[in-house]
Structure 1
Amino acid sequence: MGLAESVARRLRSPEFDRWMRGAARVGFCTNPVWLVGASTTFGSETGEERARFSSADQPDHVLFTRCGNRRAQRCASCSHEYKGDTWHMIMAGAAGGMKGVPNSVAAHPMVFLTLTAPSFGTVHGVSCARAKLCTHGSRPECATGHGGGSPELGDAICPDCYDYEGHVVWQYFASELWRRFTIQLRRELARVLGMSQREASTLVRPQFAKVAEFQKRGAVHFHAIVRLDGVDSDDAFPAPDDRMTTAHLTQAIRQAARAVRYQPPSLPSGRLPNALRWGRQIDVKPIVRSEGLDGRLSDRAVAAYIAKYATKATEDLDAGASPRPHLVRLRDIAEQIGVAADQQSPYVLLERWSRMLGFRGHFSTKSRRYSVTLGSLREARHQWRLERIAAAASEPDAGEVESVLVIGSWSYAGMGWTSQGDKALAIEAARAAREWRDSRNTKGPDRGEGDVR
């Protein structure tokens, strides 16, 4: 059956409206999960049965639920939802006044930080014509000026010179390097403030929210909001001591980023990799409130930028018709190291992460007290949906909605839409829904996405 015929068949179906409502409930997910089973809703106070639901009564005899994939290339709908959640999480900690975070956090010293990977070899860039000659002379420099959309951007000029092993190892331990950076930052804050670490720990506590973004060369770099809070057991978001300024935070960040090192363990081949460090580009910009910007970096612009990159992945580097040889080699090296590692080796999991070019960290993380968690946002949305179910099951003039208890049994039955026509309809409906929401919400996660690096 062709695509047009499959679409027409669904549109002509007598159950099209019910199917459409079910698809809308999962946000027109690209690859929904199939569940089979049944549930019964009871009033928690009276024990009275309020409603029954069974997948057997649905148009396709399954209940659809979201796939939940954050990657935009895998599911635009779930990625858009994840992006919105990330925006709210970031924005709450940067501006306050939402999700239980007070407005006062916006007055705390706060910066937007970018940390990059070091160089592993010369790569094609927009200013490629100025690249140096290959160190061993087997290949000349690239004399081409590349445009922004050139497929060669980020590829090694000389693959024989490029340190692919070092690149993969750095990526594999990048999250550990970040962890050590946060520890070093506390030490540097004490040094900048002229205090002991013990004294500083009673006055100031850095909080952060960060995302990882892949550069064209296949190396991750980190974007983060770093905020200074005070220390108060009775206040989740205390203001820091008046002596703490954005200048202190900026200086401490730069010193910590330059100082931190991590020596990774030897590879299965016996080679000891170079000590890991950050790249030379350490970008720190103060963040101001969105009102009265005067050309400065706003909390809203940073939140939009970070949320945007929280949905990216390696697929975005390799979206062409054929895989980039540079990325293929990185994946191959990661897989080879992982295969060669024994069960006691710290590199034993590297094969599993080869498709991520060795990066095994979370793409979106935050410190415990930065703001609301993504999990709490999902739980609030789930609770809202349950309340709608309860309201729909109540009598029209029943007054206050009774709390309910839902008892059911469900099992996994597959993934995806049952036909290519259904998938095409869902993708188009999801696109239209996103455009409609974004047109109504001028303050959402897709606003102010200019490059703030």
Structure 2
Amino acid sequence: MTRPEAMSTAGTSHGGFPGYGDASPLDLDHAGASARRGMVDRLLGGTFEAWSDAAARVGHCAQPIKLVGSSSRVERATGEVVSSYSSTQEPFGVTYVRCGNRRASVCPACSRIYARDTFEMIRAGVVGGKSVPERVSGNPLVFLTLTAPSFGPVHTAKGGQRCRPRDGHEVCEHGRSVACWQAHESDDLDVGTPICPDCYDYTAHVIWQWWAPELWRRFTITTRRVVARAMGVPASRLREVATLQYAKVAEYQARGVVHFHALVRLDGPKTADGYAPGPEGVSAGVLAGMLEDAAGRVGFDAPPCAGHDVGRLRFGAQVDARSVTATRVDDPDAPLVGEQVAGYLAKYATKAASDTTDPRRASGHYRRLRATIDDLAAHRWPEDEYELLGKWTHMLGFRGHFSSKSRCYSITLGALRRARQRWQRIAADSGRDGREMPVLDFADLMADEEEETTLVVGSWTYVGTGWDTDADTALALAAADRARAYDQWRAEKARTTPKR
């Protein structure tokens, strides 16, 4: 019987992984008495093996979807049933599938897959691969950060420097000191909170956050106009000389407002495959200057909300545009490396307000932000632009996508998921038939989509979400954490092992 100590790495080539074996049990210290009794019941009842297999098939998802039903794979041309499957074949009478949630606070296992797919999607736009030609690595590439404006002074972490060294006798209009002589650490819960909550413009904060996606949309339009003007062509004819591509993620700052990180690439005229060499005479440094120029030009006159008119919305004055290179060089002053930036963006793509504000989400600052949103939502007209504001309180008013890209930046997340599903199906078929797993690359898996001759027909019913007991959930979370540690160990080993 597979024991909980080894369930997360069973069947892997651990090669000395310190978390493998009886001497390294899963971390279950957080499990309560009820969960521990449930684990014992699983072991003594003889159902642990079946549950372990089910958990492994969904990658130890924390909140798997439970379905009942059946499906058949049918030949398109003849209608012949090639194979069939039913949830009644499973030991527990239900089929578990991954929840697919991208947020690490909800499901660590699924968020890792989302982060990995996002990394591959972003990386492909830097160095090529995954159906993206390698020639894109030579195109101008910039790592851009756009921030929100100030809504009032807040406590900040400045790398050991004093937060706000001011005259200790100077006070704001509410009688509070405007000085802070502490040197905050980044994890200090005071970081991001207003120096004076009554001076902080919570209404402007919420309204800016609500319209942040619109500001980004206008920024992309303005950037194309700036690029067209610099290249001496009308904006309507820019595609004849250059195309702008990007991959963007949103990240919450400590004060609870998003800023945008993006990899922006400038390609040449649009080609049949969508990827062209960059235009001559435009370097990454020149592109960075264009992006900074565009960020300073963007503005949006927000409609009044519940009688509050905050005027014209803009990005913050802090705009960071840095050149990116596709390959690493041993020079501390060299541009950023694309793969490092891809990993950075993938990390933040799996976060949300519930992640980045924890444990700050319980602070008075965040409670007041949520209260401001509720108050604005309660005093709106039904037909105005803020009709759905109250539905986004949990996201502090941000309603945009946390991860997005332009059409021809690189491969889509959907294509990556389909390729992974095909690989898993081929591996399962090979194992069932006793055949050796064929060596496939991404192109083979994508070609399989075009040559697919079968159709899956099924009927499924949703019956619930999550594992049946606290014990199952605790085991799944612990196993997912061990799998994450194993992946990190394997990546570090690959990085430090000399190549032969």
Residue 236 (structure 1) shift: 1.3
Matched, 1:114 2:145: yes
How far apart in 2 are the matches of 1:86 and 1:131? 44
User: What's the TM-score, normalizing by structure 1?
Assistant: 0.91
How far apart in 2 are the matches of 1:417 and 1:166? 42
Comparing 49-58 with 244-253, greater Cα deviation is found at 49-58
Comparing 9-18 with 331-340, greater Cα deviation is found at 9-18
How far apart in 1 are the matches of 2:64 and 2:51? 13
- Report % sequence identity: 41
Mapping of residues 353-392 of structure 1, within 5 Å: 353-391=392-430
User: For residue 52 of structure 2, what is the aligned residue in structure 1?
Assistant: 20
Q: 1:293 to 1:265 in 2, by over 3 A?
A: farther
How far apart in 1 are the matches of 2:342 and 2:357? 26
User: For residue 429 of structure 1, what is the aligned residue in structure 2?
Assistant: 479
Three-state SS of the structure 2 residue aligned to 1:412 is strand
Matched, 1:143 2:174: no
Residue from 142, 150, 164 that aligns with 1:129: 164
Mapping of residues 326-345 of structure 1, within 5 Å: 326-345=365-384
Residue 106 (structure 1) shift: 0.8
How far apart in 1 are the matches of 2:462 and 2:237? 54
Counterpart amino acid of residue 475 in structure 2: L
Are the counterparts in 1 of residues 245 and 267 from structure 2 also a CA contact under 8 Å?
yes
Residue from 217, 237, 262 that aligns with 2:300: 262
Q: 1:6 to 1:233 in 2, by over 3 A?
A: same
User: For residue 127 of structure 2, what is the aligned residue in structure 1?
Assistant: 95
Are the counterparts in 1 of residues 73 and 83 from structure 2 also a CA contact under 8 Å?
yes
Residue 84 (structure 1) shift: 0.2
Are the counterparts in 2 of residues 390 and 403 from structure 1 also a CA contact under 8 Å?
no
User: For residue 298 of structure 1, what is the aligned residue in structure 2?
Assistant: 337
How far apart in 2 are the matches of 1:426 and 1:393? 26
Q: 1:196 to 1:372 in 2, by over 3 A?
A: same
Mapping of residues 190-339 of structure 1, within 5 Å: 190-268=228-306, 270-295=307-332, 296=334, 297-320=336-359, 323-339=362-378
Counterpart amino acid of residue 278 in structure 2: P
Residue 407 (structure 1) shift: 2.7
Residue 77 (structure 1) shift: 0.3
How far apart in 1 are the matches of 2:51 and 2:465? 16
Are the counterparts in 2 of residues 122 and 131 from structure 1 also a CA contact under 8 Å?
no
Counterpart amino acid of residue 376 in structure 1: A
Are the counterparts in 2 of residues 134 and 161 from structure 1 also a CA contact under 8 Å?
no
List gaps (5 residues or longer) in structure 1: 449-453
User: For residue 451 of structure 1, what is the aligned residue in structure 2?
Assistant: none
User: For residue 10 of structure 1, what is the aligned residue in structure 2?
Assistant: 42
Aligned residues: CA RMSD: 2.5
User: For residue 63 of structure 1, what is the aligned residue in structure 2?
Assistant: 95
Counterpart amino acid of residue 88 in structure 1: E
Residue from 407, 411, 415 that aligns with 2:465: 415
Counterpart amino acid of residue 43 in structure 2: L
Three-state SS of the structure 1 residue aligned to 2:467 is coil
Counterpart amino acid of residue 384 in structure 1: W
Residue 293 (structure 1) shift: 4.5
Three-state SS of the structure 1 residue aligned to 2:37 is helix
Three-state SS of the structure 1 residue aligned to 2:325 is coil
Three-state SS of the structure 1 residue aligned to 2:193 is coil
Q: 1:204 to 1:135 in 2, by over 3 A?
A: farther
Residue 393 (structure 1) shift: 5.5
Q: 1:29 to 1:206 in 2, by over 3 A?
A: same
User: For residue 9 of structure 2, what is the aligned residue in structure 1?
Assistant: none
Residue from 41, 59, 83 that aligns with 2:115: 83
Residue 191 (structure 1) shift: 2.8
Three-state SS of the structure 2 residue aligned to 1:172 is helix
Are the counterparts in 1 of residues 189 and 360 from structure 2 also a CA contact under 8 Å?
no
User: For residue 104 of structure 1, what is the aligned residue in structure 2?
Assistant: 135
List gaps (5 residues or longer) in structure 2: 1-32, 439-447
Residue 260 (structure 1) shift: 0.8
How far apart in 1 are the matches of 2:434 and 2:121? 37
Are the counterparts in 1 of residues 327 and 338 from structure 2 also a CA contact under 8 Å?
yes
How far apart in 1 are the matches of 2:79 and 2:221? 53
Residue 197 (structure 1) shift: 2.8
How far apart in 2 are the matches of 1:131 and 1:213? 30
Q: 1:111 to 1:364 in 2, by over 3 A?
A: same
How far apart in 2 are the matches of 1:327 and 1:438? 33
Q: 1:215 to 1:234 in 2, by over 3 A?
A: same
